């Protein structure tokens, strides 16, 4: 795919926040965003039982509500649909739990703005060790192991697949069938499989990470289920790529890729 940069006047950067019980950290995340570099913030609340919606409304965010907790993947689906409807040319997912540094957004989107990448991940595994920054040892080890496996299966060379800090070109989300993905945590990996299938350019930047009680984090049981889901995804994707069990979910019409004008 050719490098195509987008004129500044035509760029529309929309931040999406998939939220669930984020009342204690939402203001911190919002305050850290470089507001001069973004054109709107969409928060999708997934049935929170705290003051997330009230705070988001007071901050002037565009708030969309799920009637109950549908799941992390379902939340992202609504986020991306609403960002596309809003005319975003670059969509940035920022978790409102303040675990990832929101001030780094300009660095995250720069490779997309310059036409070098279609997708950019904020990696916790580049630079200072995530383990030294507080990541539980069992998550650190499993992250490394699963990333090694996913790189081999997807034909990529990423330092991490499991980050929640991501930026996308509009055209990428228009090309992949993200609505066909899971409503759970495995959504994050299914969409990477779709990017790999479509041959989209994925870049990374190093981001520090914060671990503290208020930051959302999957527990051991959920992490085990997530890990098993990734193993099945790798098997399923391999069968698709080899033509033994084709899936429309991972069939991407890369030839229809349309760079932003």
DSSP per residue, the chain: -------GGG--EEEEEEESS-TTTHHHHHHHS-GGG-SEEEEEE-S-SSSHHHHHHHTT-EEEE-SS---HHHHHHHHHHHHHHTT-SEEEE--TTS-B-GGGHHHHHHHHHTTS-SEEEEESSSSS-TTTTT--HHHHHHHHHHHHHHHHHHT---S-S--S-EEEEHHHHHHS-GGGS-SSTTHHHHHHHHHHHHT--EEEEE--B---TTS----HHHHHHHHHHHHHHHHHHHHHHTTSS--GGG---GGG-----
Inside any domain, residue 112: yes
Inside any domain, residue 256: no
Looking at residues 177-202, what average pLDDT do you find? Answer: 96
Inside any domain, residue 5: no
Domain residues for the domain of 184 are: 10-250
Q: What is the pLDDT of residue 22?
A: 96
What domain count does the chain have?
A: 1
pLDDT at residue 258 is higher than 60: no
pLDDT at residue 209 is higher than 90: no
pTM: 0.88
How large a percentage of the chain has pLDDT more than 70? 85
pLDDT at residue 114 is higher than 70: yes
Inside any domain, residue 2: no
pLDDT tens-digit series, residues 218-256: 566 777 888 899 999 999 999 999 999 999 999 986 544
pLDDT tens-digit series, residues 140-173: 788 889 999 999 999 999 999 989 999 999 999 9
Inside any domain, residue 4: no
Inside any domain, residue 1: no
Looking at residues 90-94, what average pLDDT do you find? Answer: 98
CATH number of the domain within which 210 lies: 3.90.550.10
């Amino acid at each position: 795919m050719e490098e195509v940069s987008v004129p500044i006047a035509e760029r529309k950067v929309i931040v999406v926040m998939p939220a669930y019980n984020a009342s204690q950290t939402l203001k911190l995340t919002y305050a850290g965003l470089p507001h001069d570099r973004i054109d709107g913030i969409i928060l999708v609340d997934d049935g929170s039982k705290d003051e997330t919606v009230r705070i988001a409304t007071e901050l002037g965010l565009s708030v969309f509500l799920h009637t109950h907790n549908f799941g992390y993947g379902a939340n992202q689906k609504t986020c991306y649909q609403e960002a596309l409807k809003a005319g975003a040319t670059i969509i940035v997912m920022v978790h409102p739990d303040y675990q990832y540094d929101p001030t780094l957004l300009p660095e995250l989107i720069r490779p997309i703005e310059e036409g070098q990448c279609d997708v950019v991940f904020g990696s916790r595994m580049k630079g200072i060790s995530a383990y030294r920054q507080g990541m539980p040892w069992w998550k650190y080890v499993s992250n490394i192991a699963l990333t090694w496996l996913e790189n081999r299966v997807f034909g990529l060379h990423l330092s991490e697949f499991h980050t929640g800090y991501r930026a996308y070109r509009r055209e990428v989300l228009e090309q992949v069938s993200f609505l066909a993905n899971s409503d759970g945590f495995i959504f994050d990996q299914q969409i990477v499989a779709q990017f790999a299938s479509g041959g989209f350019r994925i870049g990374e930047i190093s981001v520090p990470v914060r671990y503290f009680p208020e930051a959302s984090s999957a527990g051991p049981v959920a992490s085990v289920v997530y890990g098993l889901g990734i193993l099945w995804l790798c098997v399923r994707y391999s069968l698709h790529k080899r033509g033994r069990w084709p899936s429309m979910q991972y069939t991407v019409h890369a030839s229809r890729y349309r760079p932003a004008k």
